[in-house]
Amino acid sequence: MSKYIVALDAGTTSIRAMLYGIAERRFLDTAQQEVQQSFPQNGWVEQDADEIYYKAAYVLNRCISGVGAENVVGIGLANQRETVVLWNRDTGEPIAPAIVWQCRRTDEFCASVPREMRDRIAEKTGLPVDAYFSASKIRWMLDHVPAARALMQAGKLCAGTVDTYLIYKLTGEFVTDHTNASRTMLFNIHTLAWDEELLAYFGIPREILPEVKPCTSVMGYLRSGGSTIPIAGVAGDQQAALFGQACLGEGDSKITYGTGLFLLFNTGKACVTSRSGLITTIGYSLGEKVVYALEGSVFNAGSCVQWLRDGLGLLSTSAESEQLATSVPDTGGVRFVPAFTGLGAPYWNGEARGLLSGITRGTTKAHIVRAVLESIAFSAKELSDCMQRDSGIVFHEVKCDGGASANNFLMQFQADVLGISVNRPAERESTALGAAFLCGIALGLFGEVDIASFRASERVFAPVGDRSQHEKWYGEYRKAVERALMK
């Protein structure tokens, strides 16, 4: 009888369970549910943790019941990171809406953190002080949610990220993994423990936080029908994608081209501190073995293509951008800077806004579409330059995934701009694949060495373009960025 792993990918906008056939080495079935976000005030983003749990349980059940619980050997979990839930330890009920990673309500608090403390935090956690991470969100909830203090005094308050909440509801265990913990701004990524100094600074008692375990741990057991299924193998979504892409060696990297763009770069045992505003994070941990990564994010990537389609009406589908971009030999001098919501790494400028430059009477929509796609590749190039400078490790190839990685023009242009190959996998659900692989390792079904052989390439884009030409275009893009940064 065939055996299966179910990978649960609890993303920000949707939750998906995917059935991985161990013998088949691929996904065989999937169930998905959208999840709502609410925006109660300017810059605030919330979700209903109950809805996240019910939808996760629903999609899990759909996948498991299709093959019978007795044939599912384990569940791997990948999740949206940094989002915070507070709940009652006795009932498992959330006591307030979850504060989502995008939420900016703690901007002011973060801006008030003194210089010296920022340096301590960066040194210990690898993170810049920002409302994006969990610590200030938990602090805010302790201060503003009426039930929080009384529950805390009674020893009945739990705080955790989405992985922790789901595992608690599904199994009763109060745990998280190294990668999710490394995004809270409370976890010391060198000692692999909650940091007493940071807990004291944020006023968060250790008792309300979960136990932290390696990604390949058995976290708890889900009872389904007459069977118990281990939840084993957990990582934050971007880290899971790094693992799913088999980026297991120092210098291996992946770029996810979704709404935003995420570049993760495996730095091996070295916990590299960035001088360029990149994040140092735990890439994954296999038992005792901890692998670090540098991470850079660009807020707008695929969303720029959406804007061409829905905002400007230049495209009827996102995919049409490929054909339009290749219908012209270049952008005709047009440059685009994707700064709709400011610029992320390496600029960290929230006030910058998008820019379209170099327009002439001869500019066509094809030039504009091409300039937008080229800007996505250039922003990845900026990140990769920083990473190589910070780490002294050279990129040799980059694996790609995410919706916009379907665009052949973009992938070829990316290879030309980086001067290295861009490798597109046959299975583009890298996040779910990473969760399935971590689960397989946790259960002793596969070894780390097997993972590389499980990943198949669909297409490798080798750099072919004229290097000097691409350097010149990149220079034009950088000039446009400078203009976007001008007040």
Give the footprint of ligand ADP on this chain (CB under 6 A): 13, 258-259, 302-303, 305-306, 318-319, 321-322, 402-404, 406-407
Give min distance, CB of 57 to ligand ADP, in A: 22
Give min distance, CB of 90 to ligand ADP, in A: 35
- Return the number of the residue (372 or 443) whose C-beta is nearest ligand ADP: 372
Give min distance, CB of 430 to ligand ADP, in A: 10
Give min distance, CB of 17 to ligand ADP, in A: 16
- The residue type found at 134 is S
Q: How far apart are CA 405 and CA 200, in angstroms?
A: 43
- Return the number of the residue (163 or 237) whose C-beta is nearest ligand ADP: 237
- Return the number of the residue (244 or 402) whose C-beta is nearest ligand ADP: 402
How many CA atoms within 13 Å lie on the side-chain side of 186?
29
Query: 461 near 414, Cβ under 8 Å?
Result: yes
Give min distance, CB of 410 to ligand ADP, in A: 6
- Return the number of the residue (78 or 222) whose C-beta is nearest ligand ADP: 78
Give min distance, CB of 404 to ligand ADP, in A: 3
- Return the number of the residue (13 or 457) whose C-beta is nearest ligand ADP: 13
- Return the number of the residue (87 or 378) whose C-beta is nearest ligand ADP: 378
- Return the number of the residue (210 or 402) whose C-beta is nearest ligand ADP: 402
Give min distance, CB of 237 to ligand ADP, in A: 9
Query: 262 near 297, Cβ under 8 Å?
Result: yes
Sequence-distant (≥ 6) Cβ neighbours of residue 321 within 8 angstroms = 305, 308, 315, 369, 372, 373, 407, 409
Question: Which token pair is 253?
Answer: 């990297």
Give min distance, CB of 183 to ligand ADP, in A: 17
Give min distance, CB of 250 to ligand ADP, in A: 27
Q: How far apart are CA 326 and CA 324, in angstroms?
A: 5
Query: 175 near 219, Cβ under 8 Å?
Result: yes
Rounded to the nearest angstrom, the gap between the alpha carbon of residue 300 and the centroid of all alpha carbons in its chain is 14
- Return the number of the residue (65 or 323) whose C-beta is nearest ligand ADP: 323
Give min distance, CB of 448 to ligand ADP, in A: 26
Q: Which has the closest alpha carbon to 177: 221, 229, 220, 224?
A: 220
- Return the number of the residue (185 or 411) whose C-beta is nearest ligand ADP: 411
- Return the number of the residue (258 or 268) whose C-beta is nearest ligand ADP: 258
- Return the number of the residue (46 or 322) whose C-beta is nearest ligand ADP: 322
Give min distance, CB of 238 to ligand ADP, in A: 11
Position closest to ligand ADP via CB: 403
Sequence-distant (≥ 6) Cβ neighbours of residue 189 within 8 angstroms = 124, 125, 126, 182, 271, 280, 281, 282, 292
